[in-house]
Amino acid sequence: MKRIFALILACFSLHSFAEEVSGLYTGLVPVADQSAESRDFAVTQALSQVLIKLTGNSKIMQSTRVQPFLTNPNAFVAGIGFRNLSSVDGDDQTGLEVSFDPQALDQLIRQAQLPVLPSNRPRLLVWIVRDDALQGRGFVGQDFSDAALQSFDRAMKTRGMPYLIPNFDLQDQLSLSVNEAWSLRADLIGPASDRYNTDGWIALRFYTTSNAEVRGAWLYQSSGRRQLNDFRAEPGEEFMTEAVGSLVDSLASSYTYMPQLDTSALQVKINGVANFKDYQAVLSQFKKLELVDSVQLFGVQGDQLTLAIDAEAGAELLHSALVRSGRLQSQTAPGSMLSGRLEFDWISK
């Protein structure tokens, strides 16, 4: 029954488009200087950044499963280089950019049995509301130079999560007021977000108390799930990093899968493959998914392809990932999913 319900929820997102995120195996860490000590410390920090991005879990480095594999972080390094960074106060700062070997990290994740957040990730619409003691309540996002928006952007990029800010045009103003967004009115935020054709939405509100403590809350809806939580930060702390960290941890749990040492074979039928160009595009779509180990052509009948898929996750997660690609419309019957058989219509572009 749970599998059938998961399928029904996934079908509501047939026309939303996830985003292929790049740079997941690269970390960027500020350093005090270019000494060997600073470099070694930064490599460890960059590896932590990357593993958090890949697993969708900000506490993954505390896991006893991963600790035995981290005795020599340099063994995973594929490339390294210093670069200039712009700090929050505008001063130049040195950073170390570290690229890690994807194959080596994928092997680490599999052996340690860590969760995987695929690179095909949900793109969410984000409504941010600030309550200022002097200026009152207002949406954040109309001016990218806003420090709060820049902080949010950095935090989301660090986690490898795509997002979209509303236009704040007349249609948005008529659909959702500042006070309605501040009240986290899901019944109004959802309809106001529909025009953006994203995979869900986030509403985040915050204010600063008289003693300079920042308090706030976030609410999101994605993948048929709605979650609410609050946050606070002491004076001087980077509150947005904490807020985004807890938000993405919760959000990612709906999209991660646990890689299996033994893959499971699934049968996937694709309708509407009219020519060789479509055929190549279909194969390319499957090969982009981390949870797919191999794709084999099982049969062709008219414009229908039948593929044999070796996947590290079950039929539900493969189905969800294919729907989020925006190129496949599900025609899968609930009973077929339970037996590992999926069916889609190809959306040609």
Q: What is the mean pLDDT of the chain?
A: 88
Whether 154 and 275 map to the same domain: the answer is no
Q: What is the pLDDT of residue 7?
A: 31
The answer to whether residue 295 sits within a structural domain is yes
**Residue 118, domain member (yes or no):** no
Q: Are residues 139 and 97 in the same domain?
A: no
Q: What is the pTM of this model?
A: 0.75
Q: In what helix (H) or strand (E) does residue 161 lie, and over which residues does it extend?
A: none
Q: Find the DSSP H helices in the chain.
A: 2-11, 36-55, 102-112, 147-158, 170-175, 178-182, 186-193, 239-252, 276-287, 315-324, 334-338
Q: Which residue has the tokens 């902080």?
A: 151
Contacts of 189 (CB under 8 A, 6+ apart): 127, 176, 180, 181, 201, 203, 219, 221
Q: What average pLDDT score do residues 149-164 get?
A: 96
232, 252, 272 — which closes off a domain? 252
User: Which H, E and C letters describe 277-336, residue by residue?
Assistant: HHHHHHHHHHHCCCCEEEEEEEEEECCEEEEEEEECCCHHHHHHHHHHCCCEEECCCHHH
Q: Which of 252, 275, 307 is the last residue of a domain?
A: 252
Domain count, the chain: 3
CA distance 215 to 208: 6
pLDDT value at residue 11: 35
- Burial label for 136, CB within 10 Å (0-12, 13-18, 19+), is exposed
**Secondary structure in 3-state letters for 303-314:** CEEEEEEEECCC
Q: Which amino acid is at 97?
A: E
Q: How many residues make up the chain in this entry?
A: 349
> Last residue of some domain: 221, 252, 283?
252
Do 245 and 314 fall into the same domain? Answer: no
Give the rounded percent of residues in the chain with a pLDDT score beyond 90.
58
Question: Does position 4 have pLDDT exceeding 70, yes or no?
Answer: no
pLDDT score recorded for residue 24:
96
Residues 176, 59: one domain? no
**Pair 45, 133 in one domain:** no
Residue 318 located in a structural domain: yes
CA distance from start to end of the chain: 35
pLDDT tens for residues 22-78? 999 999 999 988 899 999 999 999 999 999 999 999 999 999 889 888 889 999 999
Question: Average pLDDT for residues 163-170, to the nearest whole number?
Answer: 97
- CA-nearest of 115, 120, 161, 16 to 313 is 115
List the CATH number of the domain containing 187.
Answer: 3.40.50
Most distant CA atoms of the chain, gap in Å: 70
- Tell me: do 202 and 315 sit in the same domain: no
User: Do 223 and 175 have their domain in common?
Assistant: yes
Q: Are residues 165 and 108 in the same domain?
A: no
Per residue in 315-349, pLDDT tens? 888 999 999 888 999 999 877 887 788 999 999 87
Model pLDDT, residue 262? 56
Q: Where does the pLDDT of residue 257 fall: very low under 50, low under 70, confident under 90, or very high at 90 and above?
A: confident
Rounded to 5 degrees, what are φ and ψ at 33?
Answer: -160, -175
Query: Does 147 lie in the same domain as 216?
Result: yes
Within a domain: 9:
yes
Banded model confidence at residue 17, pLDDT cuts 50, 70, 90? low
Q: Which residues are 19's β-sheet partners?
A: 121
Same domain for 108 and 128: no
* Segment among 46-50, 183-187, 250-254 with least mean pLDDT: 250-254
Lowest mean pLDDT: which of 74-83, 115-124, 332-341? 332-341
Q: Is residue 117 part of a domain?
A: no
Average pLDDT over residues 218-245: 92
Domain of residue 222: give its range: 123-252
Q: Are residues 127 and 242 in the same domain?
A: yes
User: What would you report as the CA-atom Rg of the chain, rounded to the nearest whole angstrom?
Assistant: 22
Same domain, 222 and 307: no
Percentage of the chain lying above the pLDDT 70 cut: 92
Residue 305 backbone phi and psi in degrees, to 5: -100, 145
Q: Decide if 312 is inside a domain.
A: yes
Helices (H), 56-85: none
5 burial (CB, 10 Å; 0-12 / 13-18 / 19+) is exposed
CA atoms within 13 A on the CB side of 115: 19
pLDDT of residue 98: 97
